[in-house]
Amino acid sequence: MAYLEIAGLKKSFPRAGAAPLEVLSGLNTKVEEGALLSILGPSGCGKSTLLNIINGLDNATNGSVTLAGIEVTTQTRSDVKISVVFQQPRLLPWQTVRQNVALPLQEMHLHAAEIRERTEKYLKLVGLDEFADYFPLQLSGGMQQRVSLARGLAIEPDLLLADEPFSALDEFSARRLRQEFVRIWAETGKTILFVTHNIREAVFLSTKVLMITTRPARVHLELDVDVPHMRNPDDDELFALEKRITGEFLEMEGGSVA
């Protein structure tokens, strides 16, 4: 049984005086525990809607999302632990790095000793333990994103959702953080869904790439990335996969990239 299964997932939204807006049209995929799945698709294809359903913030019209044997809905969301790393770090500027990471742990009503232990553990994991008493605006954009990742990991989630977390960074910083992200993923063994518009990023990071179509979204391509980690971004095998996926994307888009 897959750790995460998306089965026949459909989502439509009612519209006054018009037919419902169909956003997702029968998505299916299975993800093994500890995998890193990247989701690619054109702008406006429904990736945010998909993440909201996986995160239990909205219900599907039809179909299901099952995580660790639990069907995830708005009613069962509290039965699983899902964290999200967003495009922007979304840190509280008036709180220190340590306080930002500890915030969700306080909301879980953990004991103070466990909060301190987890906060120190995950700041060390992302290489920021020496910056625990800094404020977010004293850090670079890449460092802020690492704080956000530490905060997401500190709740020790069943599933981590990463929603274009490196897209606001310059390419040099993003490339370095991708390598750090793979290291952290390997050390924690977490199951990750990574949404991106960057084909090279998806190929470098993932154990599997899922490409979805324009709205109403369906699966266009599901491809295993059978290149061992740790990977070299300039590996010829990765370049060949990137070229193949780019061709598939152009074919799906009718010859033009959105």
Q: What are 96-152's pLDDT values in tens digits?
A: 999 999 999 999 999 999 999 999 999 999 999 999 999 999 999 999 999 999 999
Q: Is residue 153 within 8 Å of 125, Cβ to Cβ?
A: yes
| No. of helices (H) and no. of strands (E), the chain | 7, 10
* pTM of the model as a whole: 0.92
Tens of pLDDT, residues 173-227: 999 999 999 999 999 999 999 999 999 999 999 999 999 999 999 999 999 999 9
- Residue in the block written with tokens 């790393």: 85
Q: How many CB atoms lie within 10 A of CB 239?
A: 13
- What are the domain boundaries of the chain? 85-196, 211-258
CA–CA distance from 66 to each of 2, 28, 62, 108, 161 (Å)? 9, 11, 13, 23, 15
CATH no. of 85-196: 3.40.50.300
Nearest to 4 by CA among 74, 82, 61: 82
Which pLDDT value is given to residue 157?
97
